[in-house]
Structure 1
């Protein structure tokens, strides 16, 4: 089949531009093999990273039709079908004989060096910031190995599948708007350390990962990282596990992010959904104890009043008892865990 590849090309000092190449390829051909053919047969100046070609090293991560993926994993046929499905869902697919167009671009949230090659320095620095190594102190066990039960080892399997390809980091909305956020890749590795029975710094690590928007509370829970991860690590789920460990150890008065989560659960238990009249006062105003916090939301309250948006009453959900029962059941089960 004939396919057109639109490749976003640029250097660190030039604006991006689209360069098109047409190839006659087998539908099962991977995107990476197609790029190899473009480089070897049509344009030797094209730059991209590659190594193992077997979904192991993570080197060939790039944006393929708008989302980060491994070029060695995705093939032409699946990408064409994905675009057709999207077009059909938007009622814009005509089913004609036009040549399919695949767009290849560099990963996001990282500066471009050349073409599809990005500078991953910050990516690696953020990983280093969470110290993703078993602590030296924990390894000082004399005259025997540090044994783990099968269950303890199994708890590390999902996180251990991460190949640090950068796909989650590329598509992270939180990283795009908040440069201080360490990124989903780093926090997924951080959760591996929290779960590792051999590590002796769990409490210290949780304090570190609890650093407001730099740590786990910077995650906007958009699910992009889970969607694009080629190894099913589910970084957002791992971030959620760290949050749970922090919430188990913290009180609402300790910080606003902790209070935000605990107050939401508390209000939903009371009324089946969030009473917005109380939510801001309890979270930002710290249960009416933080005068400065209360004053900070005053202008918002005035604007809501003037526009008729302020809720003067609250009607509990009809399913409040069921919601409360479910929450209490989950909380009870969590307390029973070893």
Structure 2
């Protein structure tokens, strides 16, 4: 089958341009196979990274049809099927009536060096910022080896599967708008250290990961990292686990981010859903104790009132008792060792 490859090409300090190539391929050919053929047979100036070709090294991460993925893992047949499924779900006409098209672009949130090659210093610096290695005390040579039960070791497996390909970082909405956020890759590795019983700095780590929006509270919970991860690390799930560890150790006065979570849960338990009349006052105004926070709500409150959008009454949802019971049951389960 013939495929049209639209490749975004760019050099430093220049605008990106799309260059198209036509190639006869088999459905089982990977995107990396096709890029190799384009470079070897049509245009030797095309630049991209590759190494193992076995979904292990993470070198060939790039944006394939608007999502980050490994070029060595995705093949033509699955991509055509995926794009057709998206078109059908959106009731759009199929783009494959003539020649199927594949759009290949460099990873997002990172500066382009050339074509599909990006500069990843920021990616690695953010990883280093979470200290993704067992603490010095934990690494001290013991009289005997560290022993872990299979259950304790299994807690580290999912995060250990991360190959640092950068796909999650590339598609992260929080990284795009907040340059201080360390990124889902770093926090997934951070959770591995929190879960590792050999580490002696758990409390210090949690304080570090709790700092403003550069740590776990910078995550917007968009789920993009989970959807593009080729190794099923589920970075968002790991970030959530760190949040739970922090929330267990902090009360609502600790910070607005922590209060946001605790108030949300408190109000849902009370009424089945959030009472918007109380939420902002309790979170921003810290239960009427933060005068500066309360005053900051004034302009927004006035606009809401003037536009008739302030809810003067609150009606609990149906099944509030069931919701409360479920939340309390989950909280009890989480307390169990």
Task: Output the CA distance in 2 between the equivalents of 1:133 and 1:69.
Answer: 26
Q: Residues 43 and 274 from structure 1, CA distance in 2 versus in 1: closer, same or farther, beyond 3 angstroms?
A: same
Distance 2:240 2:36 in 1: 39
Q: Give the drift of 1:92.
A: 2.2
Secondary structure of 2:213's match? helix
- 3-state SS of paired residue (1:254): coil
**Aligned 1:1-338 pairs, distance under 5 A:** 1-94=1-94, 97-335=97-335, 337-338=336-337
Assess if the C-alpha contact under 8 Å between 1:110 and 1:120 holds in 2. Answer: yes
* Count of residue correspondences: 337
Tell whether the 8 Å contact from 2:216 to 2:239 is kept in structure 1 after alignment.
yes
Check the 8 A contact 1:191/1:242 in 2, yes or no: yes
CA distance in 2, matches of 1:114, 1:317: 55
CA distance in 1, matches of 2:239, 2:162: 14
Distance in 2 between residues matched to 1:96 and 1:105, nearest whole Å: 20
Secondary structure of the corresponding residue to residue 214 of structure 1: coil
Offset at 1:81?
Answer: 1.1
Alpha-carbon distance between aligned partners in 2 of 1:85 and 1:154, rounded to the nearest angstrom: 36
Secondary structure, counterpart of 1:200 in structure 2: coil
CA contact 2:7–2:18 (8 Å) conserved in 1 = yes
The offset of 1:113, in angstroms, is 0.5
- Structure 1 unaligned runs (5+)? none
Residue 96 of structure 1 and its aligned partner are, at CA, apart by: 6.0
CA contact (8 A) 2:84 2:94 kept: no
Deviations 1:106-161 (A, max 9, x none): 00000000000001000000000000000110122532101111111000000000
Q: 1:293 to 1:27 in 2, by over 3 A?
A: same
Q: Distance in 2 between matches of 1:213 and 1:142?
A: 37
Superposition CA RMSD, Å = 0.9
Residue pair 2:47, 2:117 contacting (<8 A) in 1 also: yes
Distance 1:94 1:263 in 2: 46
With normalisation by structure 1, the TM-score equals 0.98
| Structure 2 counterpart SS, 1:294 | helix
What secondary structure does 1:156 align onto?
helix
Q: CA deviation at 1:86?
A: 1.2
Aligned residue for 2:108, secondary structure, equals coil
Q: Does the 8 Å CA contact 1:63/1:69 hold for their aligned counterparts?
A: yes
**Aligned-partner Cα distance in 1 for 2:24–2:96:** 18
Question: Contact between 2:194 and 2:202, CA under 8 Å: does it hold in 1?
Answer: yes
The answer to whether the Cα contact below 8 Å between 1:285 and 1:294 also exists between their aligned partners in 2 is: yes
Residue segments in structure 2 that go unaligned for 5+ positions in a row: none
Structure 2 distance, partners of 1:100, 1:142, is 60
Structure-2 separation of matches of 1:285 and 1:87: 46
**1:3–1:102 contact (8 Å) kept in structure 2:** yes
8 A Cα contact 1:185 1:235, kept in partner: yes
Helix, strand or coil for the counterpart of 1:301?
A: helix
Contact kept? 1:112, 1:119, Cα under 8 Å: yes
